[in-house]
Chains A and B, each alone.
Chain A
Amino acid sequence: QVQLVESGGGVVQPGTSLTLPCAVSGFTIINYDMHWVRQAPGKGLEWVAVMSYDGINKYYADSVQDRFDISRDGSENRLYLQMNSLTIADTAIYYCARERGRGILDHWGHGALVTVSS
């Protein structure tokens, strides 16, 4: 059974950093492109980042480029999103998701809420 479980959310101050883990079971993340997608309160979905299955390529939305880093631990089967220089605009539910190919996100976690507030 495929499961993705995000954790590490919480309330943080502007300018600080936070890392979100996504624990995966039911498949091996090194065989799939893996994503982070976020959703601000009451707003739509925003794609954030992707790591290619081979771990070589990482791509980021313009809004988080140079501040966020996507990574993984293949031995633990975990995906991570390190978020630096957080701003109020980064307040959102963060979902990790698996891509089955051609951009299709076929499995999602339940999400982790990150609130950036002073």
Chain B
Amino acid sequence: SYVLTQPPSVSEAPGKTATITCGGTNIGSKSVHWYQQKPGQAPVVVIFNDADRPSGIPERFSGSNSGNTASLTISRVEAGDEADYYCQIWESGSAHRVFGGGTKLTVL
């Protein structure tokens, strides 16, 4: 089955830019979605279809996807962005949905 690989952790200082990667074979040919999960809460989609942002999600959140790597970029990082972030795709061949292992973003 398809595997999505994320770094376990990313740290960044407030006001800086944090980038979280999601690796997968030819992931650029798939639509990637990103979820934010804060402790004790359900996940919330912050980016869908590689780079689209749901209403209510700050413009500081952006996404890209090419080749074997998709990325979630958070500009001007704030303390409130501290959370776990998961990438996810729909594997059309099997109809399975696949999550990456998750990345814990720490705001220093």
Contacts and interface: CB of A to CB of B under 8 A. Distances in A.
Contacts of B54: 106
B61 interface: no
Contact of B45 (A59, A104, A111): A104
A57 B42 contact: no
A47 B97 contact: yes
Interface residues of A, number: 21
A57 B86 CA distance: 26
Given A45-B43, A95-B42, A103 B89 contact: yes
Shortest Cβ-Cβ A-B pairs, 6 listed: A103-B90, A44-B102, A108-B42, A47-B97, A45-B99, A59-B95
Given A104-B33, A104-B49, A110-B42, 10 more contacts: A45-B37, A47-B97, A59-B95, A95-B43, A102-B49, A102-B90, A103-B97, A104-B48, A106-B48, A109-B42
Interface of B: 1, 31, 33, 35, 37, 42-45, 48-49, 54, 84, 86, 88-90, 94-102
